[in-house]
A and B are shown apart, each in its own frame.
Chain A
Amino acid sequence: MKTIGVLGLQGAVQEHLKQIEALGMNGLIVKKPEQMNEIDGLIIPGGESTAIKNLIVRYGFLAPLRDFSQKGKPILGTCAGMVLLAKEITDTDESHLGLMDIKVKRNAYGRQRDSFEVDLEVKGIEDVFPSVFIRAPYIEAVGGNVEVLATYEDKIVAARQGNLMVSSFHPELTADTRFINLFAELVDAPAMAPVAP
């Protein structure tokens, strides 16, 4: 059975783990870089992107995370995870992991009082998906081979590029495991070519 890790530095770690286990897969909280060798796919959860980035750098996760992606192993980033995976972040020269060809605007919908829930159509999921946006980012621009999975009011809120998948919303805050299942299918699929750095 394949194992999906959840980057356990900060944020909604247990919530993701619960969904992975509900799908009947192995889940592992990853707190040390060497644990990256024990997993087949990784979820970077929602949390505070600046806090998670800080710990990624300080605890030597930067190279192992990039390596993992270069091997074509799947990574899912939700909310803060999307910000961390993006090659470009609006209004700053700085990117974090810089892996996926997307340009992401942080806190794009405003402050917490503007956080919302809405049902969205997501490619690969039948019917609608309950989508929870919390101080969420959205994608302003995508590179050539990025597949858009969901939009809300004309903004891209979920996408996939090869082994990388992102969402602005928090599937882990719902009881609906279908979005995580899309990622699990990616983890189960044969290895794929990595996204070019």
Chain B
Amino acid sequence: MEKLIGSETVKRGMAQMQKGGVIMDVVNAEQAKIAEASGAVAVMALERVPSDIRAAGGVARMADPRIVEEVLNAVSIPVMAKARIGHIVEARVLEAMGVDYIDESEVLTPADEEFHLLKSDYTVPFVCGCRDLGEASRRIGEGAAMLRTKGEPGTGNIVEAVRHMRKVQAQVRKVVHMNDDELMTEAKLLGAPYEVLKQIRAEGKLPVVNFAAGGVATPADAALMMELGADGVFVGSGVFKSENPEKFASAIVQATTYYNDYELIGKLSKELGSAMKGIDISKLSAEERMQERGW
């Protein structure tokens, strides 16, 4: 084989290297360095963390390229950035800037209410949010090389991430145990590409890495998501909206690695200061629920 860039193996492989790790939202070089020093496996460069996006309202777009560039220059770990759902040009701009991974994200205001990006067209890999196996499979079908639960971003409330992770896992288990003749109907019911379900059944698992995201606020939250089968964790507002970001970041990293060492997690959780203030998701109106974005 001649040299091949942007292949499925290389894109999915990049996410496999992130497994067991924590990816942190940052808004400047200083935060990026704190994240790197705490043991984050990547940072997500943003203009505002999700909880501030909620507070600010209005249209949330791709970050100012100056912020992305500042973060790219500040750290040696991979840098991710978010593009709006369906915003071809934001994604191409981030790719041209050399961002290592793009999150086609419901945290930003969607640019297209019908179509997601055709992610297989890009050299840069993409991560996308999902609430169930249908959504996960459609994103894989479009070329996503990594998945994450949608959860409910910027709330500091883990309940939706738990719901989405359990749902996807249960649906994968069901597909894996299906007979050949049941698979097409399952594809129809889930709204999932048949070929992706066939692959899941053959491999016994999702063909791409699936992280937890959307509501992780404490070391115990991160460990809970690992316990439920997440391959790793995204922490959005949880780190830099906490009282002591350095301590929080480091504790979440350790709790993710040692997610079943409860004594350690107890120790890590002591004297951390207060976590971000959370939001009761049932108090959010339908328009305020970011997880409803994406199709």
Contacts and interface: CB of A to CB of B under 8 A. Distances in A.
Given A12-B17, A114-B5, A134-B14, A50 B76 contact: yes
A74 interface: no
B253 interface: yes
Interface stretch (B36-44, B62-70, B192-200): B36-44
Interface string B10-49: 1001101111110000000000000011111110000000
Contacts, number: 121
A112 B124 contact: yes
B172 to A, nearest CB: 16
A130 B4 CA distance: 11
Nearest to B21: A10
A48 B9 CA distance: 18
A35 interface: no
Nearest to B5: A116
A114 B3 CA distance: 11
A114 B124 CA distance: 9
A113 B38 CA distance: 26
A130 B16 CA distance: 17
A114 B99 CA distance: 11
A115 B13 CA distance: 10
| Chain B interface, >50% SS class | loop
B123 interface: yes
Contacts of B100: 111-113, 135
A135 B14 contact: yes
Contacts of A118: 1-4
A8 to B, nearest CB: 8
B184 interface: no
A134 B13 contact: yes
Nearest to A110: B98
Contacts of B78: 48, 111-112, 135
A51 B13 contact: no
Contact of A107 (B16, B41, B76): B76
A41 B40 CA distance: 28
Contacts of A107: 76
Contact of A58 (B5, B13, B76, B254): B254
A47 B14 contact: no
Given A50-B36, A51-B41, A173 B13 contact: yes
Interface of B: 1-7, 9-10, 13-14, 16-21, 36-42, 76-78, 95, 98-101, 123-125, 253-254, 257-258
Interface of A: 8-15, 31, 46-48, 50-51, 54-55, 58, 79-80, 106-107, 110-119, 128, 130, 132-135, 170, 173-174
5 contacts: A13-B19, A48-B77, A112-B125, A117-B7, A132-B9
